[in-house]
A and B are shown apart, each in its own frame.
Chain A
């Protein structure tokens, strides 16, 4: 495939592995910010093939994982109401709220529908004027522009039966929170390429400067990841801390100005709770005053829902890169994708899920297995 096979080429990967191995002289801890990167690293076994000096710490960039329980419970409450069509991307349906998930709500008669675009939800609202149609608008800077566009369209169309439950999050404040955590071990960042394709790279030089860390904008295919790692290690070995773009085919320095303008129109920055981590100041977006009438929290009066989570799982440590999923006592025993203790075990981008899917070996060491065929 164009832009897929080319970036999985084993021979080119080998050269990058060799280059990294020749560059590294001492231990370095890098964080890949995005859950999509984590998934790709584990799925392709990249971390197994890197020199032992390089540790990859898995970051908090999984939108499903960090959506707070409170927001999930609000979604469950709204979706359970008669006359509501609750629309969501598929992977939110299995995320546990307090005692149930959206699949359960659907099984109990709620009208929960999987859509592939927020504009699908808008179309449902037009087609079914007698229903209240709600879209679950979560995610990072990547999913925010289409959601902003959808609300913008709803206002233009004067749709009174459409609203959005918004829990958007922003990457740069999360990097800042991680770097100011006393337990932080991160020495360099692979920034999330697709976030930067929207936002550009201008948010990162102040962070690289303030915390003295290299930040390399990195893609998601194996060669993209290896190139991001190679450049980060090169900087660390040289004692530099700069922002570099290793994903120029998708990321212009200015990002996507049209998308940013839409974001600025529809959303405003707010403090946001991250599941497993806590409130990070200025780390989220909510609908701006002009669009408040489309805010599902207000329309359905669920602003009062408060939840207290138990402290059974350690996804907070995992999301901050303080703990590998396999280091958690509940991993693979009490906590599996079938019975997730935390959202990191639910989403396909969650670090715990990636480890469970690809690293659970039923007692045998995967590394010792010979190749088939």
Chain B
């Protein structure tokens, strides 16, 4: 096959003869990307779920807080957790379902993700999680020992995070109608007085802080995924962030936005905040902490570490006058020792995230479409 070029182009190319496919219409069936935390997920939520859940409010149908104008507005804000008033208290309320495969991976399992994910969603409103519910959907034929390992991990994680599981549910589905163990948790917690942390509150001038190394969880899970096993010392960063957030709030109550960059990674979180607040976000690429092992794994898989999931990190938008104090408080906490200022909110290019590259160029940081796809070569 190393013979010199044997063929010769048969005359010049006919530039009029090339052609291109018609665009794909919206898929009538769900594809995996609808759950990937990117644009497809956002469209599904904004165009299907939000209208379905809030149209009753528009028609004047009420049935408790969820049907009121306030409830509809809370849902439409699409924060990690909803903040609602009930009996004079401000409660943060959130739910999340966990379908991670494999269930056990370096540094964690579906059990501690189920606690930490919901605790962290609440923490992104500034709330300290108090109570959790826990629902299991189990597949017929799953070893009881597996369920026990998940339950034990979940219980241990709850104790570590300082939350109590107070209600639960168990369903078993026919073999082939589940994938071993699915877990759903919901949680509530009190939002401290004077705290108003929402994706809409970023302002030009805010300093953007990341709490530590990014891309760790996603790479740890991928390293043990069937068909992709590779040797790495990366372990999931799965951790409850309520303590770190409490430490930040002790520096100032005036945090503008918190987000934990799970699915879709840092890029998705920054884009969501930029769009929700109508600000531009400017990031210095070299300031974002990416561990060497994560960079390595992403380089050979053709993935972008900024799009890889985290389970124990947060990104914060902080008024500039409080940035130093918040950063110091984060670095004094075990989960924030590698915290770093990575950029700022700007008036230019509202809704868009722009990174300055290591060489001094610039690039737009986009919301991922759906699943990140490993490259061919």
Task: Point out residues on A near B: beta carbons under 8 Å.
Answer: 1, 4-5, 8, 10, 13, 36, 42-49, 63-64, 69, 89-94, 96-101, 103-104, 106-108, 114-117, 120, 138-140, 142-143, 172-173, 176-177, 180-183, 194, 199-200, 202-203, 206-207, 222, 255, 260, 263-264, 267, 269, 271, 275-278, 280-283, 285, 308-317, 320, 322, 334-335, 337-343, 347-349, 356-364, 366-373
Contact = CB atoms under 8 A, between A and B. Distances in A.
Nearest to B24: A96
B180 to A, nearest CB: 18
B143 interface: no
Given A361-B364, A367-B362, A342 B21 contact: yes
Interface stretch (B44-52, B188-196, B337-345): B337-345
B12 A339 contact: no
A373 to B, nearest CB: 4
Interface in B241-298: 280-284, 286-287, 292, 295-296
A115 to B, nearest CB: 6
Contact of B282 (A101, A183, A310, A372): A372
Contact of A63 (B18, B363, B376): B376
A342 B352 contact: no
B144 interface: no
Interface in B1-52: 1-2, 4-15, 17-25, 27, 29-33, 39-40
B21 A44 contact: no
Contact of B359 (A45, A93, A335, A357): A45
Nearest to A265: B1
Contact of B2 (A107, A203, A207, A362): A203
A103 B348 contact: no
A100 B23 CA distance: 9
Contacts of A340: 23-24
Contact of A45 (B31, B283, B349, B363): B363
23 contacts: A4-B295, A44-B358, A63-B377, A69-B21, A94-B370, A96-B24, A101-B24, A104-B31, A106-B31, A116-B374, A199-B2, A269-B7, A309-B20, A316-B19, A317-B18, A335-B23, A338-B40, A347-B376, A358-B364, A360-B352, A360-B366, A369-B354, A372-B283
B361 interface: yes
A255 B366 CA distance: 37
A369 B362 contact: yes
A202 B282 CA distance: 46
A369 B348 contact: yes
Contact of A142 (B280, B354, B364, B377): B377
Given A172-B5, A281-B10, A282-B5, A373 B344 contact: yes
Nearest to B1: A263
Interface residues of B, number: 76
B22 A99 contact: yes
A43 B357 contact: yes
A362 to B, nearest CB: 4
A21 to B, nearest CB: 14
B4 A203 contact: yes
A312 B282 contact: no
A8 B358 contact: yes
Given A89-B374, A202-B2, A206-B4, A13 B359 contact: yes
B239 interface: no
Contacts of A364: 280, 348-349, 352
Contacts of A222: 358-359
Contacts of A283: 7
A310 B22 contact: yes
B59 interface: no
B375 to A, nearest CB: 6
Contacts of B352: 360-362, 364
Contacts of B296: 1, 4
Q: Which of B5, B8, B29, B284 has the most CB of A within 10 A?
A: B5
A64 B376 contact: yes
Contacts of B287: 372-373
Given A115-B227, A116-B227, A310-B21, A357 B375 contact: no
B7 A271 contact: yes
A334 B377 contact: no
B350 interface: yes
Given A45-B361, A63-B377, A91-B374, A369 B346 contact: yes
A93 to B, nearest CB: 7
B34 to A, nearest CB: 9
A166 B356 CA distance: 40
A90 B36 CA distance: 14
Contact of A46 (B18, B341, B361): B361
Contacts of B376: 63-64, 89, 91-92, 138-139, 143, 347, 349
Nearest to B288: A373
Contact of A315 (B20, B373, B374): B20
Contacts of B33: 103
A371 B284 contact: yes
